[in-house]
Every structure is written in structure tokens, then in C-alpha cells.
Chains A and B, each alone.
Chain A
Amino acid sequence: MAATTAPAPAPLSRPIATRASRGLWWDAARRLLRNRPAIIGLVCIAIFVGAAVLASVIAPYDPMAGSLADRLKPPSTAHLMGTDLQGRDELSRILYGARISLTVGVVAVIAALAMGGLVGALAGGLGGRVDAVAMRVTDVLLAIPGILLAIGIIAWLDRGLPQLMLAIAVTYAPIFARLLRGSLLALRESDYVLAAQSIGGSGRRILLRHMLPNALTPLIVQATLVLATAIIDIAGLGFLGLGPADPRTPEWGTMLTDARKFLQVAPYLVFFPGLAIVISAIGFNLLGDGLRESLDPRLRR
């Protein structure tokens, strides 16, 4: 990823530092906006978020109601993406589906960040026995492959949106815990932490004011990338019939379950929800890579 965006080396005749740095975030934002793949990612995310926010305004039909007379109609001017088995407008369902994916995805990733971040901060900050126990727990959760953990949690708690959020959050929390702990352990050895200790800073103050802010950027990058995977997993669980409790809910994965049986007559019912998932996932993947490059200039190649 990095390679496609690396700038040409500055000509030697020009002074290199012409502009004063205006702070980490400002610089990062400027670098991000010069990164073409990241811009494409932002456009994809804008489409996704726009669809979610404006669904009730721009959706031409009710996503839950349809008439059987209209079932399985191919795309036309009346129904731009056709209609599904119950005669519901596919475009409207995809727009409302963006709401489900966005809310569940964002809430789940924030919850994962909170849970994993807390565990990681305690483990990396306190060390010792707390660290040992916390890391064994993350080992256990990470040993359960792929989305099986999420499947297990939903099988246990039954279907529903809150369960879906919890399942995704628990699946990804260990990744954040590991990441934050790792950065904190590395930072412990850094000069400025030593400096803060030598002027008598308390352990809590050093952790909160010196170490955590510096450990934040890898977490932000990872959270963006995890959001892409989370959206795919949510759709995957929906596809397996583990999505929202109400099967009429316009959720992209659930829509694909129905569409699978009508692949021969109505391939567009697979194509459009699939495209919606891919666009949102690509958006967050590109943005995550762009953030990684712009937040840590040393990584650029």
C-alpha cells in the first residue's frame, strides 16, 4: 500500500523544512488528504455513511413492505435494483441496511476498543500478575478461530442486534488488548517515560499523560481496519441466519441468504447487497492503511 503513494524525493536545491509543523494531528490530516487511496476510501465511506444517514429521505419505498405482485422484478426505472422475493424494493432495503451495518459495526468496534483497551492498559500499565492473567485470557479468546466465537455467543444468547454487537465486540477485543499492551511495554523503556519518572511523576500520571497518548495511534489504525472486517462478519452472521431477530429486517447478509436460492432467476439480489458490503469494507480498509501511513511517517517507504 505504502509504495503506491510514496512521494518523489525532494530536489536538493529546495530547503526541506519550509513549513513549520502544526501538531501531530494537523500534519497527519494533511498527509492523509494527499494520499490518493485514502481519498478513495473516504469517498467509499461517505457513500456508506450517507446511505445510512439519509436512508429515510432518499429510499423510494418502505424497506419492510412489498406486494407479492411485484416479487422478483429485475432492475427497472421503478425499482432501480429490482425487487426481492416478497416484492420489496431492493434499493430501499440496501439503503436501510447500511444503517444496520454502520450502527452494529461502530458500536461493536467501540465496545471492543473499550473492553480491549481497558484490559490492555491494565496489563501493560500494571504488569506482573495482572498482565499474566489478562494475556492468558486473550490467548484463550484468540485460540477460537474466525467467526466461530461470534457464532458461539449468538447461539448462546439467541439472535438479535445487541447480541450481534456483543459477539463482534468480544471477538475483536483481544486484538486491541494485545496491541495496547504491546505499545505500553515498548513505551516503558522510552526516554521520555524515564524522564517523567526521574522528575517524580506518579505512576498513574505517567501512564495517563505520557504513555497512553503515545500508544493511541496504532489503536486508531487497527480500529479502522477492524471496522472493515466487522462489517463483513456482521453480514456473514446474517447470512448464516444469526442476524437481527426479525428476519424482515433489511440486513445485507440476511438479504443474501434469501437471494442464494434465486441465483438463477435473480442474480441482482446477490450482486447489489454484495457490492454494498464490498464498498464499505474497501472504504475502511483504504482509510485504515492511509491512517497508518499518515500517523506514523516513519513507516512510509
Chain B
Amino acid sequence: MLKYIVRRLLGAIPVLFGLSVVLFAFVHLLPGDPCRTILGQHATVEACDRLRQNLGLDLPLWQQYVNYIGQLVRGDFGASIVNNKPVLTEFAVRFPATIELTVAALIFAVGVGIPLGRLAARHVQGWIDGGVTVISLFGISIPVFVLGLVLVYIFAVELKWLPTQGRIDARAGLELKTNFVLVDSLVQGRPDLFFDGLKHLILPAIALGSIPLAIIARITRAAVLDVANEDYVRTARAKGLSERRVDSRHIMRNAWLPVVTVIGLQVGGLLGGAVLTETVFSWNGVGRWVVDSIQGRDYFVIQSTILIFALIFLVVNLAVDVAYAFINPRIRYS
């Protein structure tokens, strides 16, 4: 097991190396004069010189790359061109908002998607199955930002049940310490703010979770149907086990594997989708920051976010593969 984890970690090294080359090229090989591209046409000569020095653009390319890697290893992701603050500091402030959003979306997708898939498999070919098929078709065909805007229109503008944007009522004056709204409100003993935060979270989570929900429902349905015709399931029924027990101990235990893989793969889509969702809901997370950074040509922010998101994606999928061993003892990693 440990051997397997070590081998997987070693296998990630070429990917990380490739990623660092691509992202190095992203800032250091900008088309045209990097100074003009980054700082714009009206930059002063001094600003240009300072930028060149900061980027080490006067050094040979390989030395620039070595410096870049050295900085990364020390946890230095560069500074924002706009306000000169270290990228990592700002990232740490904004990332909790993105975590809250993506985790809520994942909970929604898994919590609704798996039961829907199981329901469809139990009533295969019936109208319930058809209904689930249509839901998942719409799930993968509606862009998150369109669904987000429609949800805002229905539940915030027309019905006024939920807020249109933001993470919490700004007037409530919640003091942010961990930057997790849900955590901070509980720590400060303000359940009212906790529920306000939850209310702000519902619509963005549904919008972002719609695609994973559709995919998870589809895969669950297929996985359950695959297993349901196995001999051991028939045997379990024949020996008189209750339908519930057959379902939980014989079908689902074997159907979990493909479902868990797919859930792991959704994390990438969720992080990417967060960029759009955060824009729709003015959600102050990393995604919105990236979008604002494009307008300000703040390349280090984009570069670092891509790197950190890719790292998270790799780690999550390694964790999913390792989790296999616990779900399915038949798999022995050697």
C-alpha cells in the first residue's frame, strides 16, 4: 500500500515538471515585449526596468527557469502586478470561499446524484428511469452560468426567498478570521449568521453542482445495473435475504468503485466551474480573482491559480485511488 502511494507520488513528478515548464513559459514567453504586454502601453521606463529585474528577464532562459522553480519550492508564487502583494497571501484569503462553494456543490451533487441513479436503476425502463435520464441530460447541457442566472431570477428576484449574490449579508458585520463564513459564524456564536451564510450558499452550490450531479447519476445507474445481473446477487436473493440487504451488501458495495472514481474526476470540473459560478454570484473566491486578474493582466495570479488548482486535482485523484483499497479489498496495490 505504502509502496503504491510512493510510486504514484513519483509518477506525479513528471507531470509537475511539465506543468512548471508550461506555466513558466506562460509568463516568461509572453508574445511581444513582456513589459508592454504586462504593464500596458503607457508604462514608464522605470516600471519596465523594475519588472524586468523582478522577472529576471535579463538572465538566460534556463537560469530564469531555475530561479522560478527555486521560488516555487520556497513557497514564493510571485507578487501581484496590480498591488504588489504576494500571490499566496491573497490566495489564502480567498480560497476558503472557493472551498465552501465547491464542497457544498459536491455534497449536493453526490447527495442527490447517487440516490437518483439508484432510483433509476431500480425502476429501469420505467418513467422514473426516463425522468432521471432527462434530468441528467439537462444537467450536462445547461451551462453553470445560465442555470445560475435562471435560479437567481426565480428564487431571488421573483420569489425573494434567497439572496441574489455574495456570501453573507454585508450589514451583519461578521468578523472573518478563518474566512470560512460558516465556521466563523459558529465560532462567534452567531447561528443567525450561519443560516444567512447557508442561504447565500444554496443557489451557487446547485448551479455549480448540476453537471457533476448529472454525471454521478448516470454512472451510478450504469454501475448498479452492471452489478444487479451478477450471479452472486441472484444467489443472495435466492437465499432469502431482504431486498435492502441485497442492495446495501451485495449491489452497492460493488457498484461504488466506478462511482467513486467519477466523483474524484469531478473535482477538476468543479474548480473550473467555480470561476463561472463565482462571477455570476459575485462570490469573492479565487475564481473571481482570476477573472479580475485577466482584465488587469495580472499574469502571476493566473499562473499560480492554475498551478495550485492542478496540484489539488492531482492530490484528490491520488486520494481517490488510495481510497479504493478501503472500499474494495480485492484490489491489492503492489
Residues of A within 8 A of B (CB): 1, 3-4, 6, 136-137, 139-140, 143-149, 151-152, 154-157, 228, 232, 235-236, 239-242, 253, 256, 259-260, 263-264, 267, 270-271, 273-274, 277-278, 281-282, 285-286, 301
Contacts and interface: CB of A to CB of B under 8 A. Distances in A.
B143 A148 contact: no
A25 B128 CA distance: 33
Interface in B245-292: 267-273, 275-276, 279-280, 290-291
15 contacts: A1-B133, A3-B225, A140-B15, A146-B269, A148-B271, A156-B31, A236-B144, A236-B276, A240-B275, A241-B291, A242-B294, A256-B145, A260-B149, A281-B142, A285-B137
B305 interface: yes
Given A146-B273, A240-B275, 8 more contacts: A143-B314, A145-B272, A155-B297, A232-B143, A240-B294, A263-B152, A274-B146, A281-B143
A157 B31 contact: yes
A146 B271 contact: yes
B140 interface: yes
A149 to B, nearest CB: 7
B268 A146 contact: yes
A1 B137 CA distance: 9
Nearest to A289: B137
Q: Which of B15, B31, B309 has the most CB of A within 10 A?
A: B15
B30 interface: yes
A256 B146 CA distance: 8
Interface string B146-169: 100110110001000000000000
Nearest to A171: B272
Contact of B306 (A6, A148, A232, A271): A148
B77 interface: no
A3 B149 contact: no
Interface of B: 14-15, 18-19, 22, 26, 30-31, 124-125, 129-130, 133, 137-138, 140-146, 149-150, 152-153, 157, 225, 267-273, 275-276, 279-280, 290-291, 293-295, 297, 299, 302-303, 305-306, 309-310, 313-314
A55 B273 CA distance: 31
Given A148-B272, A242-B294, A281 B141 contact: yes
Nearest to B27: A156
A278 B275 contact: no
Contacts of A239: 143, 145, 276, 279
Given A145-B310, A151-B290, A151-B294, A136 B18 contact: yes
Nearest to B305: A148
Nearest to A270: B149
A136 B22 CA distance: 13
Q: Which of A4, A6, A144, A281 has the most CB of B within 10 A?
A: A144
Contact of B276 (A3, A240, A259): A240
Nearest to B221: A3
B257 to A, nearest CB: 19
Given A145-B269, A151-B290, A274-B150, A236 B313 contact: no
A274 B280 CA distance: 14
B314 A151 contact: no
B271 A267 contact: no
A274 B149 contact: yes
A276 to B, nearest CB: 10
